Amino acid sequence: MAAPAPLLVTVTGPDHPGVAAALFDALGPLGARVLDVEQVQIMGRLLLGMVVESADPEAVGGALRAVATSQGVTVECSPGSGSGTRPGGPRLLVTVLAPELPPGALAGLFGALAGCGANVERIVQLARYPVTSYELEVTGGGPDRVRRAVGEAAAALEVDVAVQEAGLHRRAKHLIVLDVDSTLVQGEVVDLLAARAGRADEVAAITAAAMAGELDFEPALRERVALLAGLGTADLEAVRQDLVLTPGARTLIRTLKRLGYVTGLVSGGFDHIIEPVAAELGIDHVAANTLEVAGGRLTGRLVGPVVDRAGKAAALVRFAEAAGVPLARTVAVGDGANDLDMLARAGLGIAFNAKPVVRSAADTALNVPYLDAILFLLGLSREEVEAADAAERVPVRRPPV
């Protein structure tokens, strides 16, 4: 005997407690099986869909419509097709975010997905401010085709998009490693030191060329450090006090710690300044360069191996091994050319307000000025973050309207 055909049931109307309970209660005496169910609520309106298998679909429909009348909602029943189960194959999570996401941008992204054979099965809004962000659950098309298609569309539409495979790995223990200068903090520490030494223009020119990949990092760093000779340890402390964290940095680190993430900082800057910042934020690991100090003054030289492009990638691996986290479950965030190896080694490399060469090489790019937007790429919503802050009585700082 052929299996009963599935019945697609759609329920709409004003939402209130007890609607779903009454509907499912009506199905029990009829021997119906629920194969799938989804429910959302938008501005007080309920949209519930379910796939039901029954030998007597007319009885099911009649019972559900009777319940709907008593609950003040509407039920539509129609013959389903297929098995009523979700398709197999890899499921992808496409996260899109921008200061604003107008209908045209969404149309362009959905068109790109359709064009590569992918289908959007679920959409969840992750944030309304300070950016707008949605997470799309996608099947079909294949990871490489989807990444290429939405990446091209995102560049044309000037929005940020990340494509990741769904699965349990998103809930496992992770390590996130951040660059410091122009990522965790605003500006470049070496430029701030140079300003105190009266060598700002000379150092800034070398910094810009090094970050753009036009100069090898280590000789450029040594050249800049030489220009800092004579500064005192009091100057180092003054620069540390003047550092400005990137908007959202505290929220990002605080939330990651709640999630059980291991955190790390890697920097071509200097541990005299970065280690106190890491201690204040509760960062677990730090790798940075060490300035030579003699008689309370900088000599213009470095001590020990240089943390350069290769050194940052090595630090990521070292931190992962210490934390017992596979590289596939690591996240690296940076903006400059000396972050490229680290971004490539990580399971997810994020270019944050980065130079063009870095944006083109990273897994995904964020071009909004809020570091906690990274949380949306991890599947967290703004409401979840704020609820956790409220539970710990952390003040919520909303941007001015």
pLDDT in tens, 269-325: 999 999 999 999 999 999 999 999 999 999 999 999 999 999 999 999 999 999 999
pLDDT at 401 over 50: no
Report residue 28's pLDDT band, with 50, 70 and 90 as the boundaries: confident
- Tell me the average pLDDT of the chain: 90
Both 146 and 190 in one domain: the answer is no
The residue from 160, 179, 235, 339 that is catalytic is: 179
For residue range 198-215, what is the model confidence (pLDDT) as tens digits? 999 999 899 888 767 788
Neighbour count for residue 174 (Cβ, 10 Å)? 24
* 235 labelled catalytic: no
The helix-helix angle for 103-115 and 143-157 (nearest 10°) equals 150
The residue from 25, 56, 144, 181 that is catalytic is: 181
Structural domain contains residue 340: yes
Structural domain contains residue 84: no
pLDDT at 7 over 70: yes
* 179 labelled catalytic: yes
Both 16 and 155 in one domain: the answer is no
pLDDT at 394 over 90: no
Q: How many domains does the chain have?
A: 3
pLDDT at 5 over 80: no
- Token output for 51: 């796939």
Structural domain contains residue 272: yes
Both 201 and 339 in one domain: the answer is yes
Q: Give the integer Cα–Cα distance in Å for 113 and 93.
A: 12
Report residue 2's pLDDT band, with 50, 70 and 90 as the boundaries: low
Both 43 and 124 in one domain: the answer is no
Both 115 and 258 in one domain: the answer is no
* pLDDT of the residue at 242: 93
The helix-helix angle for 249-258 and 382-391 (nearest 10°) equals 80
* pLDDT of the residue at 210: 75
pLDDT at 179 over 50: yes
Phi, psi values for residue 115, rounded to 5°: -65, -25
pLDDT at 173 over 60: yes
CATH code for the domain of 156 = 3.30.70.260
Both 35 and 161 in one domain: the answer is no
Both 278 and 362 in one domain: the answer is yes
Domain boundary, last residue among 102, 132, 166: 166
| Residue 202: partners with Cβ closer than 8 Å, 6 or more residues away | 194, 227
Both 234 and 338 in one domain: the answer is yes
CA quadruple 149, 151, 154, 158: dihedral sign:
negative
* pLDDT of the residue at 340: 95
pLDDT at 93 over 80: yes
CATH code for the domain of 235 = 3.40.50.1000
The pLDDT of 44-55, averaged and rounded, is: 91
Phi, psi values for residue 146, rounded to 5°: -65, -45
Domain boundary, last residue among 137, 166, 195: 166
* pLDDT of the residue at 19: 92
The pLDDT of 359-375, averaged and rounded, is: 93
Structural domain contains residue 398: no
pLDDT at 391 over 70: yes
* pLDDT of the residue at 41: 87
Structural domain contains residue 122: yes
Structural domain contains residue 397: no
Domain that holds residue 123: 91-166
Q: Write down the residue that tokens 């429909």 correspond to.
A: 61
Both 58 and 140 in one domain: the answer is no
Both 42 and 187 in one domain: the answer is no
The identity of residue 8, as a single letter, is L
Domain boundary, last residue among 166, 189, 212: 166
Report residue 83's pLDDT band, with 50, 70 and 90 as the boundaries: low
pLDDT at 143 over 70: yes
Report residue 43's pLDDT band, with 50, 70 and 90 as the boundaries: confident
Structural domain contains residue 275: yes
Structural domain contains residue 159: yes
Both 269 and 322 in one domain: the answer is yes
The helix or strand, by DSSP H or E, that contains position 272, with its residue range, turns out to be helix 271-281
* pLDDT of the residue at 400: 43
Both 282 and 322 in one domain: the answer is yes
Within 306-373, where are the H helices? 309-323, 340-345, 356-361
pLDDT at 88 over 80: no
For residue range 223-257, what is the model confidence (pLDDT) as tens digits? 999 999 999 999 999 999 999 999 999 999 999 99
The identity of residue 387, as a single letter, is A
